[in-house]
Chains A and B, each alone.
Chain A
């Protein structure tokens, strides 16, 4: 005979999952699907930020100073630029440096430039943390008196910002919708178990079981199903990602795809399992509240 409380909880949870294995399987599967999508969303976002960093490094804002700008003017402009919101890096390129760059570009034909007086102005080159910060930074730079002109890839930065936002909204929206479906399916499975065990629950309450004791196995069942859903979703998303990136890298080597480190994969799995547990707890708790009046 088994009388211990822990033993009771485990055995009741096991029984409840086994007795209604079809609905348990369905709950676990739906949760896994939701968390697979969340995993995909996380991976897409990680890749986008990787891509942004990659593109942003090539997407500099160049603020050209007037030819008359003194070193003090340049120094003041740099300080203003550094204090701007969203600015990641600021680099000053003097007239001489700019001319040297030009000479390097011409390489062996650099002789063409011999004897010519340096026509290039000094400039401040900046990068931002996020592409959506670019227009604001550009506008501020234009307000600096010694700044003559500001050049940047306007359309590229705008497109990147829109792409980032759309992908975030789509992936998170999809996750939320499937997550709600998972909560409903787990809730429904809990309701069916409650119906099947109504007689037993009645007797439990009659002999003095607290609400906590009655709902314990139901909540634990939800947690276990959510946790397995999370593990399954993590395995699927990380496994599929590794498989796809492996094949893509050989076909399209120029696309900057993020390769997952062990640590990142564990973090993603952790997030998905914790979310799965939350989905399971929420689904069973909502159903218990509605159908068991506890």
Chain B
């Protein structure tokens, strides 16, 4: 990111001239209080938002200047995980995961295999025919992670992925994400989960009122 600012209608400045580099294969926590700009920063990466000023490069491309029809191609390289899981309640676990392949026209036996593999990885192979409503919060988030990972993305982005989960389940979810990172996926997570950040000792970027106030290689949640 180069000098990125984001102002919302009404004049609220969510990010103020933020510049930072995240290298391929890194694992980065974005921390900060509510309203610090974490979610905005995350949204700029998968072009849910465009910056008011500055440039956002993902894989060498400036996503702010990307044409509308190129956005789906960007998102296919990125897996996104949310606090509220964003699963389809009327589809089974396997169908939810397959959905990410389906929308990109990927189908057939290879798709079945990819779905089975990723469900095994997140430990939900035996729940593949269950519906999201029948699963616990932790299990639902694992489905969301499976959906984000099924296409082998270059980048995994998560916005408060454990906001609705208890501490033990949260750590389990982060370990799962860390496993994807070991296979080469770049990970960027906005979180409030202090104990997890402290336990994992990864790069920590702290935002305060829209600006980067701390960026440490093996950091903790607080200074």
Residue numbers of A with Cβ under 8 A of B are: 1, 3-5, 8, 199-200, 202-211, 213
Partner of A207, one of B68, B69, B75: B75
Check A206–B80 contact: CB distance below 8 A: yes
Partner of B72, one of A200, A203, A209: A209
| Contacts known (A1-B94, A3-B111, A206-B80); A8 close to B72, Cβ less than 8 A | no
Check A209–B104 contact: CB distance below 8 A: yes
Which residue on chain B has the smallest CB distance to residue A206?
B80
Contact with A along B105-116 (1 / 0, CB 8 A): 111100110010
Which residue on chain A has the smallest CB distance to residue B106?
A3
User: Given the complex of chains A and B, what is the CA–CA distance between A200 and B91 in angstroms?
Assistant: 11
Q: Other than A207-B147, A208-B100, A209-B103, give 15 A-B pairs with Cβ distance below 8 A.
A: A1-B95, A3-B101, A3-B102, A3-B111, A5-B107, A202-B86, A204-B103, A206-B86, A207-B100, A208-B72, A208-B151, A210-B69, A210-B72, A211-B68, A211-B72
User: Given the complex of chains A and B, what is the CA–CA distance between A238 and B51 in angstroms?
Assistant: 60
Which residue on chain B has the smallest CB distance to residue A19?
B90
Contacts of A199 in B (CB 8 A): 86, 88
Question: In the assembled complex, how far is the CB of residue B207 from the closest CB belonging to chain A, in whole angstroms?
Answer: 23
18 chain-A/chain-B pairs, Cβ below 8 angstroms = A1-B95, A3-B101, A3-B102, A3-B106, A3-B108, A3-B112, A8-B102, A203-B88, A206-B46, A206-B48, A207-B76, A207-B103, A208-B76, A208-B151, A209-B103, A209-B104, A210-B69, A210-B72
Check A206–B75 contact: CB distance below 8 A: yes
Which residue on chain B has the smallest CB distance to residue A203?
B86
Question: In the assembled complex, how far is the CB of residue B97 from the closest CB belonging to chain A, in whole angstroms?
Answer: 10
Contacts of B107 in A (CB 8 A): 3-5
Consensus secondary structure, chain A interface = helix
Check: B213 CB closer than 8 A to any chain A CB. no
User: Given the complex of chains A and B, what is the CA–CA distance between A3 and B98 in angstroms?
Assistant: 7
Question: In the assembled complex, how far is the CB of residue A218 from the closest CB belonging to chain B, in whole angstroms?
Answer: 15
Question: In the assembled complex, how far is the CB of residue A266 from the closest CB belonging to chain B, in whole angstroms?
Answer: 37
Which residues of B37-87 have CB atoms within 8 Å of chain A's CB atoms? 46, 48, 68-69, 72-76, 80, 86
Check: B99 CB closer than 8 A to any chain A CB. yes
Top 8 A-B pairs ranked by shortest CB distance?
Answer: A209-B103, A208-B76, A208-B75, A3-B107, A207-B100, A208-B72, A210-B72, A3-B111
Contacts of B104 in A (CB 8 A): 207-209
Question: In the assembled complex, how far is the CB of residue A254 from the closest CB belonging to chain B, in whole angstroms?
Answer: 64
Check B99–A207 contact: CB distance below 8 A: yes
Contacts of A210 in B (CB 8 A): 69, 72
Question: In the assembled complex, how far is the CB of residue A268 from the closest CB belonging to chain B, in whole angstroms?
Answer: 39
User: Given the complex of chains A and B, what is the CA–CA distance between A1 and B80 in angstroms?
Assistant: 23
Check A1–B112 contact: CB distance below 8 A: yes
Check B98–A1 contact: CB distance below 8 A: yes
Question: In the assembled complex, how far is the CB of residue A203 from the closest CB belonging to chain B, in whole angstroms?
Answer: 5
User: Given the complex of chains A and B, what is the CA–CA distance between A5 and B88 in angstroms?
Assistant: 18
Contact with A along B151-178 (1 / 0, CB 8 A): 1000000000000000000000000000
Partner of A211, one of B69, B74, B112: B69
Which residue on chain B has the smallest CB distance to residue A197?
B88
Which residue on chain B has the smallest CB distance to residue A214?
B103
Contacts of A202 in B (CB 8 A): 86
Which of A200, A204, A205, A208 is packed against the most chain B CB atoms within 10 Å? A208
Question: In the assembled complex, how far is the CB of residue A144 from the closest CB belonging to chain B, in whole angstroms?
Answer: 68
Which residue on chain B has the smallest CB distance to residue A3?
B107
Contacts of A8 in B (CB 8 A): 102
User: Given the complex of chains A and B, what is the CA–CA distance between A211 and B69 in angstroms?
Assistant: 8
Question: In the assembled complex, how far is the CB of residue B176 from the closest CB belonging to chain A, in whole angstroms?
Answer: 19
Question: In the assembled complex, how far is the CB of residue B133 from the closest CB belonging to chain A, in whole angstroms?
Answer: 14
Contacts of B88 in A (CB 8 A): 199-200, 203
Which of B74, B86, B101, B103 is packed against the most chain A CB atoms within 10 Å? B103
Contacts of B80 in A (CB 8 A): 206-207
Question: In the assembled complex, how far is the CB of residue A15 from the closest CB belonging to chain B, in whole angstroms?
Answer: 9
User: Given the complex of chains A and B, what is the CA–CA distance between A207 and B99 in angstroms?
Assistant: 8
Question: In the assembled complex, how far is the CB of residue A91 from the closest CB belonging to chain B, in whole angstroms?
Answer: 67
Which residue on chain A has the smallest CB distance to residue B74?
A208
